[in-house]
Amino acid sequence: MPKIFLDGLYVLSQNWKIILSITAIFSVNFLFSPKAKQEVSLKILLPFFLFSLLLRLAFLRDIYAPSYFDSIEHLRIIKGIVEGWENHAFLDSLQHIVPTYYHLGFHFLASLLTFGLRADPINVMLVFGQVTLAILPIPVAILIWHETKNKYALIFTALLAGFGWYMPGFAINWGKYPALLGILAFEITLSLAYTFSQKKHIQFAILTLGILISTLIHTRTLIIFLITLTSWLFAKKIKNLPKNYRHSILKIQLLGILIFGILIQTEPLLKLALEPYLENHLLITIILILSFFALAKFPRAFYFSLFFILFTLASLFIPVESVFPQLANQTLLDRPFVEMILYFPLSLLGGLGLAGLLKYAGIFANEKKSRKILLYIKSFLVILFIAAIGIISLKNYNFYPSDCCVLLNYDDTIAFDWMRENLPANVRILTAGRNLQVIPNATETNLVGTDAGVWIPQRLNREIILMPYQLDFLSLETSKLLCQSQVDYIYVGSTNQHFNGRQLEEKRTWYQKILFLPKVQIYQFKGCN
């Protein structure tokens, strides 16, 4: 843990201007707030944010570029928008850069920070992601505080939302910057709308503007808002029903969640959506059984959370092809987004459960003699659950980049410097890739990069050609294919999914090694001769 804080402090010292600017953008969540909320924010949430921020920034200590292949496209768009700012041709550059892309809110903010601070766009992307993760638990905790007025439940919720499960934090390894920022905008909108629930015209304005901004950042947040509205309306109606009807609806909710959970488990691709909550952090999810203490004390919020889970799981099975024919085989929410958003209702249930449990403990304090005992009981419960979440989460949580998704390592940076100095600008470089399928039953899959070679166009302005990393370089057909594709060089990267260097060594008449590093090699292709 000390190493994590030291790494976080180092990154903070190197990027404090970017961090301060991003934090200032999202401080709107605390402006024009009631005095009680401001006190909670300053005394509890601000220290929690600083603690969380240092832990998150450690992620960036020894990283050379954002993880995963999605980050390359994000960088391309950001750099293009920055060029538009610099050339006073923002709209023209936007049409050229993103003719079909639509998650532009993140790229707009990142390009604005890059342009305004004269910062490296890669640094802006990396820091933006970690600051977003540090802020994500705060609006969720504020929602619980509004509902329960319990500071212990607020702390418990913040811990759950921040570190209870490895999602949504792990999504930064997938380059899901727009999705994470969209979820944050969604949470802030709900938090502000709840704050002004007594002033309907202000609440309506907040919801309208928040939905618009969130949708511009990531379109699927619109579906989340619809799920939220539907869940809230249903929960509000249920609150006024007789007790036996409410219990029947609860059974239907739990049965529906169970059925969808079983259906998801039968599909290998969809199964991953529940993995963070059932396999790796099952102990945390089991602790949420205490949420049933909230059933009597906070029924509306309890039923809302269950409906949110139910409708979110159901969205994985609702196709959109009939409305949008171009989105074949896609559903209302895709698997990665569901995997990222499920922490939200689960964190709410945890906070409501602890608040409900403490209220039940208060029932036994009818006499003055028992107040001291009650204080001991409450203190024990608070320490027990907060300590349990803290110890289990921080022990199992990985605050550093996952090996699965880091494409660019130290040897790659050396190889890139060498290529910049020694390879002509018009070469074509073969780079490893694999077929990626994220949608069940999809007939086509995309070929995506699996090592640092995919960064060559952005870093070196050289052309690359993607082919599967399992390519058989001893085959005559492969040699002919490389000739037809006019391949000049072959990049063997430092990840697990790279080209087979032993085959290239074996066929030296076709492949000549021109750069050798412990984890990276570059070969010149001469098979056409």
> Considering only CA atoms, which of 333, 147, 146, 139 is closest in space to residue 226?
333
pLDDT above 70 coverage of the chain, percent: 87
Contact residues for 486 (Cβ-Cβ < 8 A; gap 6+): 428
Q: How far is CA 10 from CA 16, 63, 169, 212, in A?
A: 10, 13, 20, 37
Mean pLDDT of 63-86: 88
pLDDT for position 114? 93
Location of structure tokens 């929690």: 48
| Distance from C-alpha of 433 to C-alpha of 411, rounded to nearest angstrom | 19
With 80 as the cut, is the pLDDT of residue 95 above it?
Answer: no
Residue 2 has a pLDDT of: 78
> Looking at residues 514-527, what average pLDDT do you find?
91
In the predicted model, what is the mean pLDDT of residues 72-101? 76
Instruction: Among 218-227, 367-376, 494-503, name the one with the lowest average pLDDT.
Output: 367-376
Distance CA 284, CA 148 (A): 21
SS (H, E, C) 396-450: HCCCCCCCCCCCCCHHHHHHHHHHHHHCCCCCEEEEEEEEECCCCCCCCCEEEEC
Give the domain ranges of the chain: 2-396, 410-525
More confident residue, 95 or 424: 424
How confident is residue 371, by pLDDT bands cut at 50, 70 and 90?
Answer: low
What's the whole-number mean pLDDT along residues 219-247? Answer: 90
Confidence of residue 373 (pLDDT cuts 50, 70, 90): low
pLDDT attached to residue 133: 96
Confidence of residue 214 (pLDDT cuts 50, 70, 90): very high
Residue 254 has what pLDDT?
Answer: 92
pLDDT tens-place string over residues 126-163: 999 999 999 999 999 999 998 988 888 898 999 999 99
Is the confidence at residue 192, as pLDDT, over 70?
yes
Q: Which residue has the higher pLDDT, 374 or 188?
A: 188
Q: What average pLDDT does range 191-204 have in this prediction?
A: 86
Q: What is the pLDDT of residue 382?
A: 76
Residue 398 is predicted with a pLDDT of 86
Q: How confident is the model at residue 438 (pLDDT cuts 50, 70, 90)?
A: low
As a whole number, the mean pLDDT across the chain is 86
Strands 463-468, 511-516: pairing kind = unpaired
Residue 35 confidence (pLDDT)? 55
Answer whether 25's CB lies under 8 Å from 96's CB. no
Whether the predicted pLDDT of 445 surpasses 60: yes
pLDDT mean over 259-287: 85
DSSP bridge partners of 426: none
> pLDDT tier at 279 (50, 70, 90 boundaries)?
confident
